[in-house]
Structure 1
Amino acid sequence: MTGRTETPPAGPDRASEARRLIDSMEHAKSIGEGHFSALGMLINDASLCADEAALVAVQDGLQWLHRAHYLDKANLDPDQREERGRILGLIDVAHWALRRLPSGLQLGLQPGGHAARFLQSVASHPGMNNQQLADALGTDATEVSRVGRKLLSAGVVWRRKEWRHNAWDITPRGREYLERAGLLTEAPHHEGSPDTLPPPTRRPDLA
């Protein structure tokens, strides 16, 4: 089966959609590009939103499909061998997406801890640099770098360079994690309030 790409749902019921797609793949005469594209988009969306149930549904469903129709089959034709390779590739992608979920990495944010406050700070003030975070957390730049590396490996923050400084932003996965933990507080900061932070450092020639 080939043709147009199916669009996975934008809502929270990705696990049901994953099962529906894999069931459709099982009963198709040949697995088309639309199936693989839809599953790829679903895995990407589930990873960004930390949707563990959807990723588990994809991984389990594809592993079952591989065992039932491709494992130890010596007489596969070229198209079936390509399907098997792409299915194994998606299984690997789902596996590593699950491994990188904050829960899988046992991120375990403690309210008031440096990791939680780091995430809360960059959620409220995107683009904060190491020194600004150190001031906000009441610690030093070395601790900020250590915590930042941990959060970066969990996929809950992004790090970019602004001239000589790191600038930190929260990812969709990080925001979802804060929401689930009940730690997302984005009250507006009014000019002149004690906790208003200075803007990120800019290059002098761009000021």
Structure 2
Amino acid sequence: MATTTSTTGVADATDAAGAPGAAPGRLAEARRLLEGLEHAKSIEEGRFSALGMLITDASLCADEPALTAIKDGLQWLHRTRYLDVPALDPDQREERGRVLGLIDVAHWALRRMPSGLQLGLRPGGHAARFLVAVAARPGRSNRELAAELGTDDTEISRVGRRLLAAGVVWRRKEWRSNLWDITPRGRAYLAETGLLPAPSDGDAPPPSPASSGPTRRGVDPDPSPGHRRRP
């Protein structure tokens, strides 16, 4: 396998996936790791661990371009390094299995990206309102969400499990209560679908006392002694 051809193949796979929105550092790290795998005679444990952590970080941050780059690069690596080899030794077979495992993880992480989620949340439905409420104030309990959505704990648990399975919320336990937080993937989903409402006028900071209300010409709005006009 020629070095020039294979190196170009990995670089092309990552460059083609470098769409706007990818974290430059994460994408550059993916390129570096993939090129390192290509030039290595055998793939060390540390390289597999680094790729696994990179896939995890990209998934949690909803970094679709970085995940696409990793998946494409690993698929190219599998084709050129293992697919056409007539007989693999035990170490090579283990490497091939781990590469295929990382490809699968990247594939399913991409399927759970906001663009691939088939949630179809109805803006006025419980699931959409649940997600918006948790985005506005993370750490809400089942009881708080039930009161805000006008439903009961059973419905909140059902909706929460659905959103949890989609990877758009996190659930944590505090004593006997479930507390819900939104994930980066959930925020990206709200942004892409336009479900997150724009800040209302009530969210704007109140005007300062000096500028509130009209003032008459020649009358100082600050009645403090240090600011009074001399007669």
Is 2:150 the counterpart of 1:138?
yes
Higher-Rg member (1/2): 2
CA distance in 2, matches of 1:117, 1:90: 35
Find 1:68's aligned residue among 80, 84, 87.
Answer: 80
**Offset, 1:41:** 1.6
- 1:106 partner amino acid: Q
Alignment correspondent of 1:5: none
Indicate the residue corresponding to 1:96 in structure 2. 108
In structure 2, the residue matched to 1:37 is: 49
| Deviation for aligned residue 1:19 | 3.5
Q: Secondary structure at the match of 1:103?
A: helix
SS at structure 1 position matched to 2:178: strand
Say yes or no: does 1:156 pair with 2:168: yes
Superposed, 1:77-88 pairs within 5 Å as 77-88=89-100
What residue number does 1:47 align with? 59
Q: CA distance change for structure 1 residues 184 and 29 in 2, over 3 Å: closer, same or farther? A: farther
Q: How many residues align?
A: 179
Change (3 A) 1:34 1:123: same
* 1:127-180 residue CA offsets vs partner (Å, 9 max, x unmatched): 322221122123333332232122101111122333443221222332343345
Whether the 8 Å CA contact 1:101–1:154 is kept in 2: the answer is no
Quote the offset at 1:40 in angstroms: 1.2
Equivalent residues of 2:142, 2:153 under 8 A apart: yes
| Aligned residue among 101, 113, 127 for 2:139 | 127
- TM-score, normalization by structure 2: 0.65
- Equivalent-residue separation in structure 2 for 1:168 and 1:184 (angstroms): 19
Q: For the Cα contact (< 8 Å) 1:159–1:168, is it kept in 2? A: yes
* Aligned 1:180-199 pairs, distance under 5 A: 180-181=192-193, 183=196
Question: Structure 2 vs 1, CA of residues 164 and 37 (structure 1 numbering), >3 Å: closer, same or farther?
Answer: closer
Gaps spanning 5+ residues in structure 2: where?
1-21, 204-231
Aligned counterparts of 1:185 and 1:155: Cα–Cα separation in 2: 24
Pairwise CA distance, 1:25: 1.4
How far off its partner does 1:74 sit?
3.6
For 1:78, give the aligned amino acid: P
Aligned-pair RMSD on alpha carbons?
2.8
Identity of aligned residues (%): 72
- Contact 1:130–1:144, Cα closer than 8 Å, also in 2: yes
Residue 70 of structure 1 aligns to a residue in which SS? helix
Structure 1 unmatched runs, 5+: 1-10, 190-207
Instruction: Say which structure is richer in helix.
Output: 2
Alignment pair present for 1:173 and 2:168? no
Instruction: Confirm or deny: 8 A CA contact 1:47 1:101 kept in the other structure.
Output: yes
